[in-house]
Amino acid sequence: MATNTIKWDHNVEVLIDAKRIDERITELGREITAHYGDKPICVIGILKGCFLFFADIVRKLDLPLSTEFIGISSYGDATESSGVVQITADLTRSIEGADVLIVEDIIDTGLTMRYLLENFRTRRPKSIKVCTLLHKPEGTKVKVPIDWVGFEIPNKFVVGYGLDYVGRFRNLPYIGVYNGPT
């Protein structure tokens, strides 16, 4: 496991270092590209946590694509999902008839993704696939289809690489377990 080199992250224990993240995203990019071939897709990022993963994964996709974002909140300032899903920013274009790839930072309880999949199905896309960087199988309350998983992780609260605690730690280059206030 890598050691921390950042001065202000002393309450974060490295779980997945930047090199492993990059290697896995390259693999995911190849797998997703192979699945779609040369079909155009609409890649939808779930804000805010996915922004680093989203930027990296779309650059690894060798196929025609458009991008969209949707803002979803279910954590607020807590370290556990509330189960109450709020759309904070909706899509700007229709996904009707499109092959959609949802890019998520983490799937924990499954409640947010279930809500999102149900919401998107009403918008009549041609297909919906899900790619998540992290999955916490132990935290699952409802099973949702996940087509591509970067890493399965323990049921601990993680930050870094886009994931936050009360808006902090998103800029860490790795994913780490948050061990309390700093």
Catalytic residue among 56, 108, 147, 164: 108
Pair 81, 109: CB distance under 8 Å: yes
| Selection from 37, 71, 70, 42 nearest residue 58 by Cα | 42
62 catalytic residue (yes or no)? no
Q: Which residues contact 161 (CB under 8 A, 6 or more apart)?
A: 18, 21, 52, 53, 105, 133, 170, 172, 173, 174, 175
Amino acid code (one letter) for 151: F
Return d(Cα 182, Cα 88) in angstroms, integer. 28
Q: Which residues are catalytic?
A: 108
